[in-house]
Structures are given as structure tokens and as C-alpha cells.
Amino acid sequence: MINKIKSVSLSLFAQKGYEGTSLANIAQGVGIRKSSIYSHFEGKEHLFLSVFEDVQKEELEAFINFCQDIKDDSAKGKLYSIFKYYGEMYENNNVEVVFWKRNILFPPEFLKEKLQEKIIFYEKTMSEMVTAIFNKGIINGEIQPRNVEDLLGTFICLIDGMFMESHYYTRQHYQVRLEAVWHTFWAGIKNNITE
């Protein structure tokens, strides 16, 4: 029952947002009475945060597994794969991605700080993995010796920028932009001595 409640909630929160979704809507979607939700969750806020944590955990696990799959690639290959991973994720409109996008851009005001803490945890984990790639790329001569925090900040800004671009363009135009952004980024950080 809990999973069914969360599944219906995820779909409704993705479509209508926190404010536009009521426990009555959720109960109707599940086919139970509203009061039955309280047997599993303290209220709408608790249910929403539980769904958010599930989506975040699932995405973080997917990212970690993805990084395992590319662990033997060059620094360029890893960074490109991660850039494409996020570019394609943002382009995808499955319910988890729509939920994630909506709540990153327009979190419920009274939950903004709680969600920011959770998002920062996600970004910290991702950043640690990407920082290790930059460090190794510098050590092995693939990437110019630069401040790794600057490289990381630039890379995250590119990913965030592609997040916004995914809302504006057709799939074909978006893919062209994705490739252009990647090539410009890599041209700016690659160590020309090794090529």
C-alpha cells in the first residue's frame, strides 16, 4: 500500500506540484479513503519528502552505478559520458525527472531549505566523483593543470545550463547544442601537449 501511495503521489506531485496536489487527490488515485493515508504518513509534507527522498536516492544510485560502468575510461571519456548522462536525463520526461525538475526549480516555499539541503547532498556526492576525474586527468596529463574547483564549477554550470536548454529546444536542436557545448568545454581544458 505504501508503494502505491508513493507512486500515485509521485505522479500527481510531478503534474500538479505540491500546492496543486491534495491528499484527497492521492487517495482517489490509490482508491482508498484520505484517512487511510495517515496510517502510513503523518501528512502531505511527510509523504512529499518521502517521495523526494526516494527519487533522489534512486537517481544517486543510478549515477554511482553509471560511474562504475565508465571507471576505466579516460578523463575525457568519463567527463563526456557524465555530461551526456545529465543531458539525456534532462531531456527525458519520465515522471521522476519531471518531479525532480519541478522541485529543483519551484520547490514549495516552506520546504525550500529542506529540499536545498537534500539537493546539496546530491551535488556534493556528484562533485566528489567528478573532482576525482579532474584530478586524475591533470595528473595523467590529459587536462591542463588548473584549479580543480574552477573546473568543477564550470562543469556543473554547463550541466545546469543544459538543464535549462532542454526546456527551450527541439530534441534535434538540443542534441546539437549539447555537442557544441561539450566540444568548446573540452577544447578549453584539454592539455594540448598530450594530443
Position 91 scores a pLDDT of: 82
Residue 137: how many other CB atoms lie within 10 Å: 22
Position 170 scores a pLDDT of: 87
Position 59 scores a pLDDT of: 92
Q: What is the mean pLDDT of each run of 10 residues along the chain (195 residues)?
A: 96 96 97 95 97 95 95 96 92 87 90 93 94 97 97 95 86 92 97 69
Where would I find the H helices in the chain?
2-16, 23-30, 34-37, 44-69, 75-91, 95-105, 112-139, 148-165, 171-189
Position 93 scores a pLDDT of: 74
| Terminal-residue alpha carbon distance, the chain | 57
Q: Identify the residue whose cell numbers are 508503494.
A: 3
Please name which of 131, 186, 181 lies closest in space to residue 153, comparing C-alpha atoms: 131
Residue 20: how many other CB atoms lie within 10 Å: 10
Position 101 scores a pLDDT of: 86
Position 163 scores a pLDDT of: 86
CA distance 120 to 137: 25
Position 19 scores a pLDDT of: 95
CA distance 50 to 7: 11
Q: Identify the residue whose cell numbers are 564550470.
A: 154
Domain 52-194 has CATH 1.10.357.10: yes
CA distance 34 to 7: 15
- pTM tops 0.95: no
CA distance 27 to 44: 11
Position 166 scores a pLDDT of: 83
Position 190 scores a pLDDT of: 96
